[in-house]
Structure 1
Amino acid sequence: MEIRHLEYFIEVARHKSFSIAAEVTHTSQPSISKAIKDLEAELGKTLFYRSTKYVKLTDAGELVLDQAQQIVAAFRNINTQLEGLAKLQTGKIHIGLPPITAVTTFSHMLGAFKSEYPKIQIQLFEYGPKKIEASLQDGLLDFGIFTPEDSDLFEWIWFEQDPLSVVMHSTHPLARYDLIDYKDFEGEQLILYNNDYKLHDIIIAGCKNAGITPEIAFETSQRELMTQMVTAKLGVALLPTKICQTLNPLTITYRPFADTNLCLQLALTWKKGRYLPHAAHELLAFLKTNYHLIESY
């Protein structure tokens, strides 16, 4: 059974005429007759009473007509949706991003993209970088935001490089410093990224290289919790500078960190060789065109 057979059947039933049905479907009357015969043979039922004067649906034909109309309508709806997808007016993108990282730049980019393509749905999932990387490999996400390293597994577009600053309560002794280094953390309570983040290991290694063993007060993936603990005078933290600029200066102060290589580097990353939906390709094209971002291989 083919969709066009059902379409021919519906037109014959509507016009009660094989010749008119042939005319409106721009086909020949023998083709219409053959399609109806093939349909009747496949269903094992006579669908029309035929005479030299009229064509009328049988009881079986009435039943089939109702179902045929639903099937054809559903098929045409699929075609309509596929046309919308081809024009990149619809679709869905799944993106994983760490809750603690500064995604200010990406948020603006995403907002601009949504303004241009309002019918494309974007689902955001807050995971740690390691889970994002694993989810990309398992095909659960289209994109992930983190610091990729393995060019055999991933492709990416860099969009953020934000140096870390030291965040402390406004009354903290380190607030008197103009620049803070690892050695200044001696005896301080650090509120640190949890071990889902590569920055966790980098900061601890930096402290050890400076000859100190860091005292870790708390590890978390929640930015709000880090700043709340700083406000409560429970320790100092390292946060991307763009985040620091949004904090309340009456209670929290931040100072630049001496290690300028310690920065948050973020890329929009996807699994190499994985199928990406049309909407995801459109996001990539939008970023490259409007923000001149370069794809890494």
Structure 2
Amino acid sequence: MEMRNLRVLVEVIRQGGFTDAARVLFSTQSTVSKAIKALEDEMGVPLLERGSRHVAPTAAGAIVHRQALRILAAREDLLSEIAELKGLRRGLLRLGLPRVGGDALFAPIFARFRQRYPGIEVQLSEHGSARLRELLHSGELDLAGLLLPVSDEFETQELGREPVDALLPASHRLATRDSLRFSDLADTPLVLFDTGFMLHAMVTDAFRAHRLTPQVAAQSSQIGFMLELVAAGIGVSFLPRLVAHMHRREGVVQIPVGDPALEWRMALAWRREAYLPHAARAWLDVARAGA
């Protein structure tokens, strides 16, 4: 069983298709198809259901996918540990950063880290929480900034916490209030991050916990665009207080939300029981010292 074929299967399932997987793997669709066929021939069963728009794993494919993630992660651990012993990976940290709040929380840590360890290369990947969890789980990242809580497969070191505030158009009927409840926004359209971001789930879950149906008007991965939509009166958005302060915009009003308040808790996460390279341990030490 070839590692490359397992990696191809993981990426096809992750991307939901052969074309996107080929692009991510810097390969051709034909090569990807051959790798999947080789795996299916070896297993003796179909591993993928090939729909017209979306590729999904069969029952057997789900088993192979789950085991492939474990095998690939173990391989990354093995290579990292041996390479560090040989002195080849001592200067590399694979760090995943969230697109929300990364500048506020991680830039100061990065500055202190560079000052203390100028020879260590930091390889950055910026994604939403869902994608960061996937990359961390598969061993493609050493550390990632994730919102708490996380599953038991990860260990964490908390970095900070902030209340989540509502951002309203200045012309909104509630814009002069000192604080808001979710029930106040029951009929208000929402401008949210897309579903790859934990803040999306946090906000929509909060509405449903109050037996309210969130009225989502727009979704985006860009804070600037979301604030433009808010300023234009399209709807109300939500950001951690520190992040909202850093992205102030004329025509947008920031108001605390209670009953109870949402809390944005950011932590550094790594796979439990996984080998943690020296560079990752050094980053954790620097982050802990500055907390």
2:109 matches 1:109: yes
Which structure's CA Rg is the greater one?
1
TM-superposition CA deviations, 1:56-88 (whole Å, max 9, x none): xxxxxxxxxxxxxxxxxxxxxxxxx989969x9
Q: How does 1:247-266 map to 2 (within 5 A)?
A: 247-248=247-248, 250-266=250-266
For these two proteins, the number of residue pairs brought into alignment is 209
2:172 matches 1:141: no
Q: Structure 1: how far apart are the matches of 2:137 and 2:114?
A: 26
TM-superposition CA deviations, 1:194-220 (whole Å, max 9, x none): 222333233223223434322101122
Which residue of structure 1 aligns with residue 242 of structure 2?
242
Unaligned runs of 5+ in 2: 1-82
Q: Structure 2: how far apart are the matches of 1:284 and 1:184?
A: 41
SS in 1 for 2:165: strand
Q: Structure 2: how far apart are the matches of 1:190 and 1:237?
A: 6
Do 1:183 and 1:211's aligned partners in 2 also have CA atoms closer than 8 Å? no
Which residue of structure 2 aligns with residue 281 of structure 1?
281
Q: Structure 2: how far apart are the matches of 1:179 and 1:235?
A: 17
Q: Structure 2: how far apart are the matches of 1:159 and 1:269?
A: 10
SS in 2 for 1:158: strand
- Identical positions, percent: 27
2:285 matches 1:291: no
Do 2:148 and 2:265's aligned partners in 1 also have CA atoms closer than 8 Å? no
Q: 1:141 to 1:259 in 2, by over 3 A?
A: farther
Do 2:112 and 2:286's aligned partners in 1 also have CA atoms closer than 8 Å? no
Q: 1:207 to 1:149 in 2, by over 3 A?
A: closer
Unaligned runs of 5+ in 1: 1-80, 293-297
Which residue of structure 2 aligns with residue 169 of structure 1?
169
CA RMSD, 1 decimal: 2.6
Q: Structure 1: how far apart are the matches of 2:245 and 2:86?
A: 41
Q: Structure 1: how far apart are the matches of 2:280 and 2:114?
A: 12
Q: Structure 1 residues 255-264 or 133-142, which shifts more?
A: 255-264
Q: CA deviation at 1:261?
A: 4.1
Q: CA deviation at 1:252?
A: 1.7
What is the TM-score with the length of structure 1 in the denominator? 0.63
Q: CA deviation at 1:177?
A: 1.0
Do 1:163 and 1:260's aligned partners in 2 also have CA atoms closer than 8 Å? no
Q: Structure 2: how far apart are the matches of 1:151 and 1:203?
A: 20
2:130 matches 1:121: no
What is the TM-score with the length of structure 2 in the denominator? 0.65
Q: Structure 2: how far apart are the matches of 1:141 and 1:170?
A: 41
SS in 1 for 2:140: coil
Q: Structure 1: how far apart are the matches of 2:96 and 2:213?
A: 33
Q: CA deviation at 1:160?
A: 1.5
